[in-house]
Amino acid sequence: MNMELSRRGFLKLAGTGVAATSLGAMGFGEAEAAEIAHVRPFKLTTTTETRNTCPYCSVACGIIMYSKGDLRKGETADIVHIEGDADHPTNRGTLCPKGAALKDFVKSPTRLQYPMHRKPGSDKFERISWEDAFDRIARLMKDDRDANFVATNAAGVPVNRWTTVGLLAASATTNETAWATFKFAKALGMVGFDNQARV
Partner 1 sequence: MTNSWTDIKNTDLVVVMGGNAAEAHPCGFKWVTEAKANRGARLIVVDPRYTRTASVSDLYAPIRQGTDIAFLNGVMRYCIDNDKVQWEYVKAFTNASYLVKDGFGYKDGLFTGYDAEKRDYDRSTWDYVIGDDGFVVTDPTLQNPRCVWNLLKEHLAPYTPDMVERICGTPKDKFLKVAGMISECSSPTKTMTSMYALGWTQHSKGSQNIRGMAMLQLILGNIGVRGGGMNALRGHSNIQGLTDLGLMSHLLTGYLTMPTEKEVDFATYMSTRQFKPLRPGQTSYWQNYKKFMVSFQKAMWGDAARADNDWAFNYLSKLDVPSYDVLRVFELMYDGKVNGYICQGFNPLLAFPNRAKNTKALSNLKWLVTLDPLDTETSRFWENHGDFNPVDTASIQTEVFQLPTTCFAEDDGSLTNSGRWLQWHWAGGTPPGEAKHDTYTIAQLFLRLRDLYRKEGGAFPDPIVNLSWEYADPNNPTPEELAKEINGRALSDLTDPADPTKVLVAAGKQVTNFSQLRDDGSTMCGCWIYSGNFNEQGNNMARRDNHDPDDTGAYLGWTFAWPLNRRTLYNRASADLQGKPWDPSRKLLEWDGSKWTGYDVPDIAPTAKPDEVGPFIMNQEGTARLFARGLMRDGPFPAHMEPFESPVANVFNPKMRGNPVARVFETDVAQLGTSDEFPYAGTSYRLTEHFHFWTKHNRVNSALQPEFFVEISEELAKEKNIDNGGWVRVWSKRGEVKAKAMVTKRIRPLTCDGKTVHIVGVPLHWGFTGSAKKGFGPNSLAAFVGDANIETPESKAFLVNIEPSTAPKDRGASA
Closest contact distance (angstroms) between CB of 41 and partner 1 is 21
Q: Which does 135 bind (CB under 5 to 8 A by kind): ligand SF4, partner 1, none?
A: partner 1
Q: Does 44 bind partner 1 (CB under 8 A)?
A: no
Site for ligand SF4 in 97-126 (CB under 6 A): 98-99
Cα–Cα dist 51/62, whole Å:
7
**Interacting positions 56-85 with ligand SF4 (CB under 6 A):** 56-57, 59-61
Q: Give the Cα separation of 91 and 52 in Å (integer).
A: 13
Q: Which stretch binds ligand SF4 (CB under 6 A): 31-39, 40-48, 92-100, 169-177?
A: 92-100
Among positions 19, 20, 34, 99, the unique one binding partner 1 when judged by CB under 8 A? 99
In angstroms, the CA 19 to CA 68 distance is 33
Q: Is 60 in the site for partner 1 (CB under 8 A)?
A: yes
DSSP 3-state assignment of 179?
Answer: helix
The Cα-based distances of 180 to 62, 94, 130, 160, 184 in angstroms read 25, 33, 19, 20, 6
Distances (CA, A) of 60 to 30, 81, 102, 118, 179: 47, 18, 13, 36, 20
Minimum separation from the CB atom of position 43 to partner 1 (A): 16
Looking at 50-58, 72-80, 113-121, 137-145, which segment touches ligand SF4 (CB under 6 A)? 50-58
Binding mask 127-146 for partner 1 (x = CB under 8 A): -x-x--xxxxxxxxxx-xxx
Nearest approach in angstroms of CB 185 to partner 1 is: 8
Residues in the interface with partner 1 (CB under 8 A) total: 120
Point out which residues pair with 62 in neighbouring strands. 53
Say which amino acid occupies 150: V
- Say if residues 74 and 113 touch (Cβ distance below 8 Å): no
